[in-house]
Amino acid sequence: MTVACQKENKLSELNQQSSKIEKAEGNDPMGEFFTKNRMKNTQVFHLNAADGGEFTGEKGTVVTVQGGVLQTLDGAIYDGDVVATLLEVRSTADAALFGFPTQTVWNAATMTGGEFLETAGSLELKMTTSDGEQLTAPGNGVTIGIPIDPAVGFNPAMTLWEGVPAPDQPRTNVWREAQGGNFEENGPLYLFNWEGRPRCNVDKLNNGCGGPTTPFKVDLPGGFNNTNTEIYIVAQICGSTGPKTVFSLDVYNPSPIWWTEHTSAGIAVGTNVDFVAIANIGGTTYYKIENATIVPGHFQHMTGMTPISMPALTALLNAL
C-alpha cells in the first residue's frame, strides 16, 4: 500500500512550530538557521496504523510500516491515524545547512570520538498519533531503505548510527553507533529496522590512510562567533569512495576567537580540504569557502564573509 504525501498543509503547521522554536532559541541564531532549513525540507505523510503502508521520500528513502505494529511509548498498540515526518539528508549542502555533519560524538570521559565518517545518507523520521504523541515500533515492524549510490555500490562495511546532540554545541547533530546496526542489501537500497530512532545514518568510520596528523584552528573577523556561525571542514578523506565528509568545528575559544574540534583521530597532514563558514546575522546568511592543504599546526585565517542566497549557497556547497 502506498500512502500519498500531503505536504503543504502540514508544512504550514511545521513552520508555525519553527517560529516557536526560533523564539525559544533567540540566543542561538545558527540553531534557528538549522531549524528553518530542516522544517522547509521536511515531508509529511499520513497513514492508518492498523492498515500500515509504504511511502517514498523525494530523494528515494522508502519507509514500510506493517499493520498493527506501531506503539505508544508505554507499549500500547496504536491503531489510529498516523502523521509521519521525513527529512532526507543526501548531499553536502543538506549536511551543512541542516546541521547534520558526518562525525562521531565526542566522549569527554574517555577522550574518544570526534572521528570522520563516510556516509551513504542520513535521515530524520518521526511518527506520531493524530494528537502528537510519539510512536515507535519493535523489530522489523517499520523498515527504512536508503538508496545505494550506483556510482559507489553497496558497501558491507557500513553500519547504522543514531543521531545525538553535539556535547559542546547541541544545535548540531552528530552520531553514535547503534547496537546491532547492520544492513541488508535489498536491491537498490540499504535496508534496516527503524525501531523508533528519530535520526539514522548509514556510515562507516574513515580516519584516513595513516601518516602524521595535526591539530588545527580557524578564525574569522570580529562579529562572527559560535552563536551566529558554524564552521565546517569538507574533505574527501583518504580511502573514501563516497560523498565528502562534512565535519563541524564545535570547540570555540572566545578570546582570542578561534574554532577547532575534539577529535581522537586528528586530520592528516597533506589533506586537501575546504573550510566553510556559514553565519546567520539578523536573518541574513553570510558565507566564506577557502580551499587549503593541511600543514603541521594548521591555522586558517578566514576573511571576507559575504551575504548569499540559500539557492546560491546550496549550489556552491554541492559543487565542492
pLDDT in tens, 130-165: 999 999 999 999 999 999 999 889 999 899 999 999
* Block residue for cell numbers 547533530: 173
pLDDT at res. 294? 95
In the chain, CATH 2.60.40 covers 213-318
Note whether 35 and 11 are within 8 A (CB).
no
What average pLDDT does this structure show over 208-224?
Answer: 90
Kindly list the strands in the beta sheet with 284-293, ordered across the sheet, starting from the edge strand earlier in the chain: 245-248, 229-235, 272-281, 284-293, 306-307
* Amino acid identity for residue 270 in this structure: G
User: Which range is least confidently modeled, 13-17, 51-55, 101-105, 255-259?
Assistant: 13-17
Q: Which three cell numbers stand for residue 256?
A: 582570542
- Percentage of the chain surpassing pLDDT 70? 90
Q: CB-based burial of residue 269 (10 Å sphere; 0-12 exposed, 13-18 middle, 19+ buried)?
A: middle
pLDDT at res. 125? 99
Cβ count near 308 (within 10 Å): 17
Closest among 221, 262, 230, 235 to 97, alpha carbons compared:
230
Helix %, strand %, coil % of the chain (to 5): 15, 45, 40
73 pLDDT band, cuts 50/70/90, is very high
- Provide the CATH number for the domain formed by 213-318 in this structure: 2.60.40
* Amino acid identity for residue 269 in this structure: V
Q: What's the pTM value of the predicted model, to 2 decimals?
A: 0.90
CA 97/CA 136 separation, integer angstroms = 28
Q: Which three cell numbers stand for residue 26?
A: 533567540
CA 76/CA 101 separation, integer angstroms = 35
In the chain, CATH 2.60.220 covers 7-205
Kindly list the strands in the beta sheet with 298-301, ordered across the sheet, starting from the edge strand earlier in the chain: 251-254, 257-260, 216-219, 298-301
CA 316/CA 320 separation, integer angstroms = 7
CB-side exposure of 125: number of CA atoms within 13 Å?
28
pLDDT at res. 45? 98
- Provide the CATH number for the domain formed by 7-205 in this structure: 2.60.220
CA 156/CA 152 separation, integer angstroms = 12
* Block residue for cell numbers 543521531: 163
Q: H or E element: which one contains 277?
A: strand 272-281
